[in-house]
Structure 1
């Protein structure tokens, strides 16, 4: 009897051990591909504008949505000094100016990823003007920038001068990306979806040397010489975009000063209707030679050595009239599909985001809260009548070089938007002045980075050989139980 029980118990132990070994082998043999989470990728872009340069660091997951990465801004850094075009006479300083911001960028990008980080520098209207004036100097500046960037452990892809149309189109992409016009994330579906009735916004950009307008015209009527085509998140977009070189804020002020001097017969004392009363600014006639926008030969003005003092008069209506003379509206004749200088533009359509200098000037006058056109006009007219003493005491923290120019800048914005682009009392309410959406800056740079992710091959989700978690857990549990039962049977056998 004892021998029979012993044999039975031994048989049980053998069966349990066999089952344990079988489960272990099966768990090891049943290996399948296991998908790992996507890795984070980074990109670095320098925005080399006419008056200053900024750096932006972006990041996105490697599993892209319909070939367009879901990009977010990680860092922004303002480069000290003027724009890189100001270093035409000393190109190495253009490269050196970027170092401080690049050092900051490397602090937010993991060291292990830096060698694979694509880095770009896009230069806009300041460098476009320098290239017109002195192409070899422009090339030297870009070469020094590249030389500096190649010293950093990133995948530098080059420094290039963007066309005005590229600048405008990328600004349009940025706005609609940030406002989720292209795609929205659905927590319920756990995926990105294309909005059924997407509200596509237009873009209005005002820089130091150029200004851009970009939007989707109503219907399909468009002059394809002024169009840009994009595919984003699996959808095609055709937009109208145009850039006006020499119509940026800083170049407008230079052109305005030149015209006032040319038309004046007062010699070295010239009235400036846009400057505050009792404000004086002395400028050198030779300064007009520094830009192609004011360096054209003009028999009415000798661009020799000499100074002229601009005397502020604070006259809003005369300021507006002087600014309108900077535009050649007569070149359009009776055409409604024309802005100025004979440039084609379909009628403005939809809502617009006005950023950069559009925003900064209106923000200073507290005009970014959706005020009516009548209220905007009244506020600008009132500001233009204030004396320099009044303004200086009211805005002690404002840059004294910038403060006297707000009257001219805001009147210029009104002329550009109303007379050139043909917004009116009704469509004015479709313009929103803002510089940020969430924590991201509005501008062409994010759109540039977003579009460039199409050039970076979408990574397949990384796969490794591994155990299916549910099978592995089941096997471990079964093995533990069978071993425990086997141990119990063994103890029972010992004490029988």
Structure 2
């Protein structure tokens, strides 16, 4: 997840699935916590352990409820130093150590007399889902280490676990709709009401290891595995949601390199159309194939190193992305996303966040831009040489700058060929965070 959060407010009907999303975890606390006194402040801590980074969120709520609904606000957030916890496979204790700085921040913010009743949860997403597929023992060890660290603090530790893709997708959908007041609205009189003409938003989330789409379609969801039913503030919602594991931005960049390597045969020098002329990247095969998202070739020699050479070929870059995002052979046709996955036609307005936003922010295409301008901007960027790019963006690190062309084409392929926003492009808003209207 990458959506920055403001106050959260959720209904008790969702408490039945209290362990299914990070917000639901906090919801269950707000609605089930035994209050010391009427309207006393309560606290809860959540670690959002993503594939590329981890963040701590400290929440606060009061005992009073409106129509059996608890009001939860974010008191503070803290970014954990380093990469995601799944990156600590060679040093699992360091995964736990990495959390201490933010735990110290939370301990300083929560009154001492309330710390022992302040619950702490850790929810890990696609990075740990991938690691559990690759090596369940290593994933378990990392979770044990973060558990040991959290338990050493004077909080009420309630668990650390890996969220499913459906949970992650639904979490993003709930968040953007609450923050934009699509579920409820706060009036000048200080009351919460349900807007009569509310238009529920869809959510598009692009992380490092997975990507999620969640929305309410016009037609019933016919595949149970893609349907999430819930009730908030007395209204029922049937949400379509799907998480594409191995199709996050970082894994897509890996898939592209693997595709180029396999197509090159025995050559160690490989043209990369999405990299810029004048840019070269050396990659060991051991690192390249170190993911359950890609399949090792025959006669694999892990000690070999290959060199990718940029060619600034924008059209070929887009074509290769179309191979990665497989849109053929779907048994649910025409109700299809990509990679053979069932998806009803997209409906309504969508917020696209995380890597969607950061990529389009780089190109100056946020929050919205005409489709023709998007294509032109991406193609112009991809045709530039590496020397030109470094001169234009001297402060951007190489590891980010080299991938903007490929990332942009990947995003366009997902959104147009995969999710089929061809005729509804103007319904997508690329957002870093959602603010109250």
Task: Judge same fold: TM > 0.5, yes or no.
Answer: yes
SS at 1:165's partner residue?
helix
Are 1:349 and 2:347 an aligned pair?
Answer: yes
Name the structure 2 match of 1:471.
none
User: Which stretches in structure 1 are left out of the alignment for 5+ residues?
Assistant: 1-35, 441-496
SS at 1:199's partner residue?
coil
Q: Which has the higher contact order (CA 8 A, sep 6+)?
A: 1
Query: Residue 119 and residue 202 in structure 1: after superposition, are their counterparts in 2 closer, same or farther (change >3 A)?
Result: same
Instruction: Write the mapping of 1:81-480 to structure 2, written as runs, cut at 5 A.
Output: 81-188=82-189, 190-265=190-265, 267-294=267-294, 296-299=295-298, 302-332=300-330, 335-424=333-422, 426-438=423-435
Query: What CA distance in whole angstroms lies between the structure 2 residues aligned with 1:67 and 1:334?
Result: 41
SS at 1:113's partner residue?
helix
Q: CA deviation at 1:265?
A: 4.1
Q: CA deviation at 1:187?
A: 2.9
Query: What CA distance in whole angstroms lies between the structure 2 residues aligned with 1:37 and 1:43?
Result: 18
Query: What CA distance in whole angstroms lies between the structure 1 residues aligned with 2:301 and 2:334?
Result: 38
Query: Residue 439 and residue 134 in structure 1: after superposition, are their counterparts in 2 closer, same or farther (change >3 A)?
Result: farther
TM-score (norm 2): 0.88
Q: Is the 8 A contact 1:67 1:234 kept in 2?
A: no
SS at 2:139's partner residue?
helix
SS at 1:401's partner residue?
helix
Query: Residue 101 and residue 334 in structure 1: after superposition, are their counterparts in 2 closer, same or farther (change >3 A)?
Result: closer
Task: Tell me how many residue pairs correspond in the alignment.
Answer: 401
* Structure 1 or 2: more helix by fraction: 1
Query: Residue 40 and residue 376 in structure 1: after superposition, are their counterparts in 2 closer, same or farther (change >3 A)?
Result: same
Query: Residue 164 and residue 62 in structure 1: after superposition, are their counterparts in 2 closer, same or farther (change >3 A)?
Result: same
TM-score (norm 1): 0.78
Query: What CA distance in whole angstroms lies between the structure 1 residues aligned with 2:277 and 2:417?
Result: 27
User: Which stretches in structure 2 are left out of the alignment for 5+ residues?
Assistant: 1-36
Q: CA deviation at 1:211?
A: 0.3
Q: CA deviation at 1:108?
A: 2.0
Partner deviation per Cα, 1:195-217 (whole Å, 9 max, x = no partner): 11211000000000000000001
> Quick check: 146-155 or 229-238, which moved more?
229-238
Partner deviation per Cα, 1:368-420 (whole Å, 9 max, x = no partner): 13211111111000010111111111111111111010000010000000000
Q: Is the 8 A contact 2:181 2:436 kept in 1?
A: no
Name the structure 2 match of 1:71.
72
Query: What CA distance in whole angstroms lies between the structure 2 residues aligned with 1:221 and 1:306?
Result: 47
Q: CA deviation at 1:221?
A: 4.4
> Quick check: 107-116 or 338-347, which moved more?
107-116
Q: Is the 8 A contact 2:289 2:296 kept in 1?
A: no
Name the structure 2 match of 1:8.
none
Name the structure 2 match of 1:54.
55
Query: Residue 51 and residue 303 in structure 1: after superposition, are their counterparts in 2 closer, same or farther (change >3 A)?
Result: farther
Query: What CA distance in whole angstroms lies between the structure 1 residues aligned with 2:94 and 2:435?
Result: 34
Partner deviation per Cα, 1:212-256 (whole Å, 9 max, x = no partner): 000001143442221112222232221000000110011111110
Q: Is the 8 A contact 1:201 1:353 kept in 2?
A: yes
Query: What CA distance in whole angstroms lies between the structure 2 residues aligned with 1:438 and 1:176?
Result: 11
Query: What CA distance in whole angstroms lies between the structure 2 residues aligned with 1:159 and 1:334?
Result: 36
Q: CA deviation at 1:345?
A: 0.3
Q: CA deviation at 1:327?
A: 2.3
Query: Residue 46 and residue 439 in structure 1: after superposition, are their counterparts in 2 closer, same or farther (change >3 A)?
Result: farther
Q: CA deviation at 1:113?
A: 1.8
Which entry has the higher C-alpha Rg, 1 or 2? 1
